[in-house]
Structure 1
């Protein structure tokens, strides 16, 4: 039996959830390191049409993943992994917020990001267009993507990310969290990206401290899973080892 299989039996499953304006590829570097460490990681792609729909989609995905599960969310996905529908199955054992929203009952991602100054996710940097299947699509203007989202990502890579954005319906960002957020009942860890121009560090700290999450700070912009995959993977492994199943 190879090293990876031996270690993976001692670690929980890990599910990596991407945020708005990116897709599951944002986790490539993190997933590679998790697999090298012996963990089994999965990275689904969200529809990003509404918070409720994303939560239901993720819950259905989790039904196919052996528990216990460490659930990690980046950016908008923090709201998704906080949704009570996601953890209703009982397999999620820990949460990791990576430069991510941690809304409380009745709060929305958009409301939280306006709570402190500093975000460059402003109307002049965004494009909203009708989706031909209904609703709207929001993206960052490609020429602004690097500065706003990925300032410490290699410029050619950042340009590819800008060209490959996965739009979100802006209504999802205004949708409030129903019920009790999952971070009130599960252990959580949070990464603060200290050079973040999308979610200001002040709001990230406010949410993480309110949730009682174990904090780490990383000098990075918002695309921290891409720019600093080793630090992100280390935090996720810390959570995984804290709740690893008994053998």
Structure 2
């Protein structure tokens, strides 16, 4: 048996350590230009990718269980709209945690392929699907929890404040990411794209800073939103019952 608030803190610790530890190691050992790489860039190379995967996969497994607990505890019966918000936010939480498994399975920095085109279709597409699902699901989860908190007036002002904060951050991040991707993929020598190894973006720009900052702000908003449930689920135990015939 384990207390649900302990499970929540353990899940968040695995996520924080899984991202921050490889990030710090990568920055410490590598001379970056720009100095602050994307999370995908920093955790995409061995051995940092191994640390990232080792911590994020069990964290994702516990996170799915945590979403189920939050869904059950925060559900409001006899209100169809709140129930709908609760159901959608539950699946967004599940997508958020499981998408980290996809991200770790297709490391962004793996570029040892014959051409840029192969890298795009064998690594980048799968990685970006996982990353975009992670960011989009976390934004929707935070916003829905904020709306639900505001409607039910549950006294937790942090949730709707985080929802108000994350909405414009997500919009800015998406616009910056699209501009950065178009600029990176559409400019370059065609022969290098077909025959040479692809080199990851290394030019410091306003779009780069805005996208990287938005990425961090969205993830932090998701973590803090999950943390607000610590009091609600405290005292509740969860365990596995084994029945013998």
Return the TM-score normalized by structure 1: 0.28
Larger proportion of helix: 2
Q: Which has the larger radius of gyration?
A: 2
- TM-score normalized by structure 2? 0.28
